[in-house]
A = this chain, B = another copy of it.
Amino acid sequence: MCRWLAYSGSPIMLEELLYKPAHSLIDQSRHARLGVETTNGDGFGVGWYPDGHQDGTAEPAVFRAVGPAWSDRNLHELAHCVRSPLFLAHIRASTGTAVQQTNCHPFRYGRWLWLHNGAISDFPVLKRDLALAVDASLYPYIEGSTDSELMFYLALTFGLRDDTPGAVERMAGFVEAVAAGHGVTDPLQMTVAVSDGERLWAFRYSTCRASRSLFFSTSVQALRALHPDNPVLHRVSDETRIIVSEPLGDLPGAWNPVPESCYALVRDGHDSIHMFQPAAP
């Protein structure tokens, strides 16, 4: 059970979201409110697209480490000096796999980033069949041992780079099909963020239709109308969008749940919500 956030908007320092909010991601590493576990201390990671390259051609940088985020000094330094228009951050609570850098999110392939909260049930039982379905040209890039990374490589295999939502739907459908073959029920729990540097998708789905929490931020214009005297809202740009496992603060009206079995797409400062439907690959 993990926590994550994804940001898209005018370039900001990472610390603005990782450290400064009342219930920032770093605060959630010790005091998550909505998760199964309150502690997310099994490693962390942040991936960011460079400022000045919003054309989607630049590869993102990734910083990942195995200790708890709350005491990591390098993360604190980085968050204070890195500015980005699009970044994803994750704090991990392992569901059994090893605490190691290659199991920390986000995972990267070329200019794609992927992170996940949730789990595949009975993953040790299903892992081999899932791994065998990964395209042979992609297989060597799998470095860790998590279900999350394998879901990424399955989605890449099923066309993530050409049809992102469709590929994630096929990945989910494939996991459910393999699980059915092994008699595993309710196999998939996932909130997933994925980006190519231009677009940001956030998926909320679970086989049992009781998915982990996921929220997206209200449009800044609407929030300014609600809270005309809030100075923060005048500093951030109109196209700011934040998607989070749990809200970063208590500002009324600021956070909206992503509906069950849906995904959000953020692009060019606009967002939209779409249905998510697992499919056969």
The answer, among B50, B66, B78, B128, for a CB contact under 8 Å with A67, is B66
The answer, among B62, B80, B100, B140, for a CB contact under 8 Å with A100, is B100
Q: Does A143 contact B (CB under 8 A)?
A: yes
Nearest to A48 among chain B residues (CB) is B81
Q: Which residues of B contact A67 (CB under 8 A)?
A: 66-67, 99
Question: Which chain A residues numbered 133 to 161 have a C-beta less than 8 Å away from chain B?
Answer: 134, 136, 139-140, 142-145
Q: Are B63 and A77 in contact (CB under 8 A)?
A: yes
Bound Cα distance from A30 to B68, whole angstroms: 12
Q: Does A273 contact B (CB under 8 A)?
A: no
What's the number of copies of this chain in the assembled complex? 4
Q: Which residues of B contact A41 (CB under 8 A)?
A: 30, 39, 41, 68
Question: Which chain A residues numbered 39 to 97 have a C-beta less than 8 Å away from chain B?
Answer: 39, 41-42, 50, 61-68, 71, 73-74, 77-78, 80-82, 94, 97
The contact size tier of chain A is 35 or more
Q: Which residues of B contact A77 (CB under 8 A)?
A: 61-63
The answer, among B30, B128, B143, for a CB contact under 8 Å with A98, is B143
Q: Which residues of B contact A144 (CB under 8 A)?
A: 145
The answer, among B50, B61, B71, B131, for a CB contact under 8 Å with A131, is B131
Q: Are B100 and A98 in contact (CB under 8 A)?
A: yes
With A102-B100, A127-B139 known as contacts, the answer to whether A63 contacts B71 (CB < 8 A) is no
Q: Are B71 and A64 in contact (CB under 8 A)?
A: no
CB distance from A29 to the nearest CB of B (A): 9
CB distance from A106 to the nearest CB of B (A): 12
Q: Are A74 and B74 in contact (CB under 8 A)?
A: yes
Q: Does A38 contact B (CB under 8 A)?
A: yes
Q: Are A81 and B61 in contact (CB under 8 A)?
A: yes
Which residue numbers of A lie inside 8 Å of B, CB to CB? 30, 37-39, 41-42, 50, 61-68, 71, 73-74, 77-78, 80-82, 94, 97-102, 124-125, 127-128, 131-132, 134, 136, 139-140, 142-145
29 CB contacts below 8 A, A to B, read A30-B39, A39-B39, A39-B41, A41-B68, A42-B68, A50-B81, A61-B77, A61-B78, A61-B80, A62-B77, A63-B74, A66-B67, A74-B74, A78-B78, A81-B82, A98-B100, A98-B102, A98-B143, A100-B100, A102-B145, A127-B140, A128-B134, A128-B136, A128-B139, A131-B131, A132-B132, A142-B145, A143-B145, A145-B145
